[in-house]
Amino acid sequence: MPRQLLAISILMCTSSISYAAEKSKLEVYGDIAQYGIPLTAGLITAIHMDGEGMMQLAEGAFWTAAATEALKLSVDAQRPNGGSQSFPSGHTSAASQGAAYLQFRYGSTYGIPAYAAAALVGYSRVDANKHYWRDVAAGMALATGIQYAITVGGISATNLVLVPYFDGDETGIYASLSF
């Protein structure tokens, strides 16, 4: 049943609701799957009636989004198409967060297909000329690292504080972790 549910959810992510004339099917897939993969992770967690897991998923999504946006604002790298805030790929970090959660919480049965779907999201961003491979790799690594810290390492908002700082030409993040 879990494999079938995951397969159905991934298929739902790959079928588009509507196609914008200027977007390829692959780009539309990436737009949908960035949300579909974490939502599928939430559905699987709900079916498992896993309250602790649901909190880990939500916390991972929050911190991944926060770290991704902080990096986008502080690095402000140019996109291949000339746009701004290329680094890291937000689509890829969102998709990878859901995949990483499934891998760390429930194992390879869920994790491998979810990571494959997340990798396709990353590919869609490069193919659409929205990101470089480094942006995609950074988004995947960022999300995986954050979700690992939460799901495997047991780090939660109760003992981790991240605060952005801006000082002249420098920007960064102060981190405080209590044990």
Which pLDDT tens digit goes with each residue over 86-105?
999 999 999 999 999 999 99
Say what the pLDDT of residue 164 is: 80
Which pLDDT tens digit goes with each residue over 67-83?
999 999 999 999 999 99
**Domain coordinates of the chain in residue numbers?**
2-177
pLDDT band at 2 (very low <50, low <70, confident <90, very high): low
Cα separation, 22 vs 163, whole angstroms = 39
Phi, psi of 167 (to 5 degrees): -140, 95
Say what the pLDDT of residue 13 is: 58
* Predicted confidence (pLDDT) at residue 179 exceeds the cutoff of 80: no
Give the residue-averaged pLDDT of 26-31.
96
CATH number, domain 2-177: 1.20.144
Give the residue-averaged pLDDT of 52-58.
96
Q: What is the pTM of this model?
A: 0.80
End-to-end CA distance of the chain: 39
3-state secondary structure of 115: helix
Say what the pLDDT of residue 19 is: 47
Give the residue-averaged pLDDT of 44-50.
97
Q: In whole numbers, what is the pLDDT of the chain averaged over residues?
A: 89
Cα separation, 20 vs 102, whole angstroms = 31
